[in-house]
């Protein structure tokens, strides 16, 4: 087939193909590239790209088996991949049928479907358990009672789980009716809705006004574990965009002080806006490298939530086959994580409690960082995360790390219906 490009391929397909091409050739993050695209409909691009990244293996196999790219050397390979993804794992049809690349892929429809074992195909990710929609009440801006009243006016019914058992709580979430919501078992300000309300809440005025925050359940548990009392002094070492900072300000009833540090200029602006809009008046945003700024001696609680591989994030768009970041990057990240956590442990004489969290599922960034920092800073001990959560938890670290694994917490996508998050709680050893 010879292509004459007189009829243009629809813009979204072209833009998605450009992102894919660049992500592969320059090893850049797909999400970052999408946000760099000018005049693009970002949600459409994200959806197109995730159809490819979620089903990459099946798509590549189908392209190989049908010889689509071999027999059509003028078909741009990235565009071919995007079109196949949309055809097999998206709408099941393509727009712009008069454009030659689109017509070419459409002519392979039956062969492609046969290659993946029949049609219609189901996305491998959407076949997983879908995550509920988590909505946290920002009590700086609205009371918990007011929030429940509004929900009742909107027709939602509060479902009382009637159990303190964690497994039964998870079962209740999955058995919820569509008009029901549940209050979280660990986080009283967190409301849990059926996945079908994802977009409803994304577009809701209360979210735009920062009265409600769209925040994954596991990331809320991080701040609850630090549990600073009202009036205390907190350091949030890696703060932007500020989701956990705002939650901490709620726990402190907006009294006391939270120093929220962020080194990246763009992310610092996000943090500053977030703090203002969420009415977190006890927060002082500080722009800088937390390893370089003067340590405030009065700090009592520290949150360490550093940059990480993000391997636990459920909406991550990854193109790598085994989903593992390269070893060099992992080593670099772990080095920085150890520096920041050990700085928290050694440079603040009055800090009594520290929580370390990542959205990574790699031991190199989790158990190994904890082990190294406890070795460097023996004045701190690791608390049992399970006890901190009143035993209502199921997933822990690798017990091969003696005295460490069993005390650390993992929140796992398929089991806890959250992003993949690691958490460790430290307390200063009092030597009386
Ligand atoms: C995982 S994100 C934090 C998310 C945030 N805690 C929240 O809940 O919204 C890590 C942040 O730490 C920042 N960061 C990394 N190293 C830092 C350092 N040395 N000093 C200050 N900020 C740092 C990164 O720029 C990034 O914005």
* Distance of CA 119 from the midpoint of ligand 1 (Å): 44
Tell me the domain boundaries of the chain.
11-115, 127-213, 217-428
What is this model's ipTM? 0.99
pLDDT digits (tens, 9 = 90+) for 365-382: 999 999 999 999 999 999
31-35, 189-193, 294-298, 388-392: least confidently modelled range: 31-35
Mean pLDDT of 289-293: 96
> Residue 53 — very low, low, confident or very high, per pLDDT cuts 50/70/90?
confident
Q: What is the pLDDT of residue 30?
A: 77
- What pLDDT does 38 receive? 64
Give the list of residues 6+ apart from residue 294 with CB closer than 8 angstroms, or none. none
| Share in percent of the chain as helix, strand, coil (round to 5) | 45, 15, 45
Most confident of 22-36, 122-136, 322-336: 322-336
Q: Is the C-beta atom of 241 inside 6 A of ligand 1?
A: yes
pLDDT over 90, % of the chain = 73
Residue 412: CB atoms within 10 A of its CB come to 16
Which of the 8 DSSP states describes residue 71? H
Lowest mean pLDDT segment, chosen from 55-59, 119-123, 202-206, 359-363: 119-123
The CATH classification number of 127-213 equals 3.30.70.1170
Name the band, by pLDDT with cuts 50, 70 and 90, for residue 90: confident
Q: How far is CA 83 from CA 80, 94, 103, 172, in A?
A: 5, 7, 10, 39
Residue 242 Cα to ligand 1 midpoint, Å, equals 9
Return the best residue to mutate from 306, 341, 344 for the ligand 1 pocket (most ligand atoms within 8 A of CB).
306
The answer on whether 431 is annotated among ligand-binding residues is no
pLDDT at 127: 42
Q: Is the pLDDT of residue 3 over 60?
A: no
pLDDT at 323: 52
Q: Which atom of ligand 1 is nearest to the CA of 339?
A: 19
267 within ligand 1 shell (Cβ under 6 A): yes
Pairing of strands 180-183, 190-193: antiparallel
With 90 as the cut, is the pLDDT of residue 69 above it? yes
> Whose CA is closest to atom 18 on ligand 1?
289
Per-residue pLDDT at 128 = 46
Q: Which of 29-38, 58-67, 235-244 has the lowest mean pLDDT?
A: 29-38
Distance between Cα 267 and ligand 1 center (Å): 8
Mean pLDDT of the residues in the chain = 90
What top-level class would CATH report for the domain 217-428?
alpha beta
305 a known binding residue?
yes
Ligand 1 atom nearest residue 244's Cα: 8
**Sign (positive or negative) of CA dihedral 5, 10, 14, 20:** negative
Q: Among 186, 175, 205, 183, which Cα is nearest to 134's?
A: 183
Residue 190 three-state SS: strand
Using pLDDT thresholds of 50, 70 and 90, give the confidence band for residue 316: low
User: 61 or 374, which is more confident?
Assistant: 374
Q: Is 289 in the pocket of ligand 1 (CB under 6 A)?
A: yes
Task: Report how far residue 363's alpha carbon sits from residue 30's, in angstroms, rounded to the nearest whole number.
Answer: 25
To the question of whether residue 262 is assigned a binding role by annotation, the answer is yes
**Tens digits of residue pLDDT in 150-171:** 999 999 999 999 888 999 999 9
**pLDDT higher than 50, residue 119:** yes
Q: Identify the residue whose C-alpha is closest to ligand 1 atom 12.
A: 238
What is the average per-residue pLDDT within 23-36? 74
> What pLDDT shows up at residue 175?
94
33 pLDDT higher than 80: no
Asked whether residue 287 carries a pLDDT value surpassing 90, the answer given is: yes
Q: With beta carbons less than 8 A apart as the criterion, state whether 35 and 22 touch.
A: no
Tokens representing residue 96 in the block: 């712009």
| pLDDT for position 204 | 94
Residue 362 per-residue DSSP state: -
Taking the centre of ligand 1 as the mean of its atom positions, its distance from the CA of residue 305, in whole angstroms, is 6
- Highest average pLDDT, of 92-96, 239-243, 314-318, comes from 239-243
Residues with catalytic function: 359
Distance 80 CA to ligand 1 centre (A): 37
Q: Ligand 1: which atom is nearest the Cα of residue 238? A: 12
Q: What is the mean pLDDT of residues 186-197?
A: 96
């Amino acid at each position: 087939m010879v292509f004459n490009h007189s009829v243009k391929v629809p813009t979204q397909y072209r833009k998605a193909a450009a992102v894919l091409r660049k992500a592969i050739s320059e090893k850049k993050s797909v999400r970052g590239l999408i946000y760099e695209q000018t005049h693009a409909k970002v949600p459409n691009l994200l959806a197109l790209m995730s159809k490819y990244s979620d089903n990459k293996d099946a798509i590549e196999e189908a392209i190989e088996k049908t010889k689509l790219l071999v027999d059509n050397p003028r078909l741009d390979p990235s565009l071919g991949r995007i079109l196949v993804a949309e055809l097999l794992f998206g709408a099941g049809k393509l727009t712009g049928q008069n454009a030659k690349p689109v017509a070419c892929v459409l002519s392979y429809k039956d062969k492609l479907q046969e290659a993946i074992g029949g049609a219609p195909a189901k996305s491998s990710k959407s076949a997983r358990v879908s995550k509920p929609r988590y909505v946290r009440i920002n009590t700086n801006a609205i009371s918990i009672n007011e929030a429940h009243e509004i929900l009742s006016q909107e027709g939602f019914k509060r479902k009382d789980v009637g159990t303190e058992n964690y497994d039964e709580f998870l079962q209740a979430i999955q058995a919820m009716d569509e008009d029901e919501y549940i209050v979280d078992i660990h986080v009283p300000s967190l409301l849990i809705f059926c996945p079908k309300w994802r977009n409803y809440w994304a577009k809701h005025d209360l979210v735009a006004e920062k009265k409600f925050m769209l925040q994954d359940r596991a990331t809320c548990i991080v701040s609850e574990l630090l549990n600073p009392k009202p009036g205390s002094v907190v350091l949030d070492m890696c703060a932007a965009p500020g989701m956990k900072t705002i939650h901490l300000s709620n726990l402190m009833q907006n009294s006391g002080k939270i120093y929220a540090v962020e080194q990246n200029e763009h992310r610092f602006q996000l943090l500053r806006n977030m703090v203002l809009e969420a009415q977190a008046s006890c927060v002082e945003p500080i722009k800088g490298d937390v390893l370089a700024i003067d340590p405030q001696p009065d700090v009592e609680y520290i949150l360490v939530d550093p940059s990480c591989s993000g391997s636990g994030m459920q909406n991550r768009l990854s193109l790598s086959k085994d989903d593992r970041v390269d070893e060099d990057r992992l080593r670099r990240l772990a080095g920085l994580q150890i520096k920041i956590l050990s700085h928290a442990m050694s440079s603040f004489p009055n800090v009594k409690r520290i929580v370390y969290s990542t959205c990574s599922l790699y031991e190199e960034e989790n158990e190994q960082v904890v082990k190294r920092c406890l070795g460097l800073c023996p004045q701190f001990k690791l608390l049992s995360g399970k006890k901190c959560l009143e035993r209502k938890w199921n997933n822990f670290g690798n017990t091969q790390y003696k005295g460490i694994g069993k005390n650390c917490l993992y929140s796992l996508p398929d089991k806890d219906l959250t992003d993949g998050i690691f958490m460790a709680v430290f307390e200063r050893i009092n030597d009386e």
